[in-house]
């Protein structure tokens, strides 16, 4: 490896006080909107075939669900705040109370997400960060023993 001389993108190698790469947050670093849309569309392809999860989602509005999850994840990782402008405070646990999220639903959700994350072929550190979050969030969403 050569020492960066300004021709490449050496700035990304430095960390800001908050642990963020200087000049770019995670959302930018992994490719912005197109990356999150790909992730969520791939995820919903799996959901569409899932006999337990599919009935929980709006029958005729998977596109709406795709937009909501994409917007939320973009916002969470430092992208545009369109989600909250349209939907208000996420209150995700509360918004999931109408659905029966048990261990089986959680594992299915995560399995479809795993396929979608693998499909992105992110750098290992980025992938670990994204996956760690999704796993913790899914565990936190369980509301039925
Ligand atoms: C653990 C299993 C989970 C199940 C079974 C589940 C199921 C659902 C369902 C049925 C909806 C309604 C679809 C819609 O119309 O938008 C929904 C919405 C949503 N879910 Fe989940 N979910 C799970 C985990 C998660 C996790 C881990 C996250 C975040 C990382 C998440 C984020 C969202 C968001 C942002 C919405 C849209 C909320 C809104 O603005 O109305 N979900 N989920």
Residues whose beta carbon lies within 6 Å of some atom of ligand 1 = 53, 56-58, 64-65, 68-69, 72, 87, 92, 95-96, 99, 101, 105-106, 109, 134, 137-138, 141
Give, using CA atoms, the residue closest to atom 21 of ligand 1: 96
pLDDT at residue 135 in the model: 98
Residue owning tokens 């929980």: 56
Tokens for 56? 């929980």
pLDDT per residue of the chain (145 residues) written in tens, 0 to 9: 444 444 444 444 444 455 555 557 999 999 999 999 999 999 999 999 999 999 999 988 899 999 999 999 999 999 999 999 999 999 999 999 999 999 999 999 999 999 999 999 999 999 999 999 999 999 999 999 9
Give first-to-last CA distance, the chain, whole Å: 52
Tokens for 128? 């670990």
Nearest to 70 by CA among 61, 80, 60: 80
CB 32 within 8 A of CB 79: yes
What gap in Å lies between CA 43 and CA 120, rounded to an integer? Answer: 11
pLDDT at residue 126 in the model: 97
pLDDT at residue 61 in the model: 84
pLDDT at residue 9 in the model: 44
pLDDT at residue 20 in the model: 53
Q: Whole-model pTM? A: 0.87
Ligand 1, closest atom to CA 105? 5
How do residues 100-117 score in pLDDT, each as one tens digit? 999 999 999 999 999 999
Nearest to 79 by CA among 119, 114, 30: 30
Give, using CA atoms, the residue closest to atom 29 of ligand 1: 137
């Amino acid at each position: 490896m050569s020492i960066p001389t300004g021709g490449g993108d050496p700035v990304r190698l430095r960390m800001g006080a908050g642990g963020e790469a200087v000049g770019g947050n995670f959302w930018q670093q992994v490719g912005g909107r197109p990356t999150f849309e790909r992730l969520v569309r791939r995820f919903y392809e799996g959901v569409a075939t899932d006999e337990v999860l599919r009935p929980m989602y709006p029958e005729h509005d998977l596109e709406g669900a795709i937009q909501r999850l994409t917007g939320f994840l973009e916002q969470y990782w430092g992208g545009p705040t369109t989600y909250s402008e349209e939907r208000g405070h996420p209150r995700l646990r509360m918004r999931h109370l109408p659905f029966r999220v048990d261990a089986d639903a959680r594992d299915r959700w995560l399995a479809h997400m795993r396929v979608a994350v693998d499909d992105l072929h992110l750098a290992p550190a980025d992938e670990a960060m994204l996956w760690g979050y999704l796993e913790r969030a899914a565990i936190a969403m369980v509301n039925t023993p």
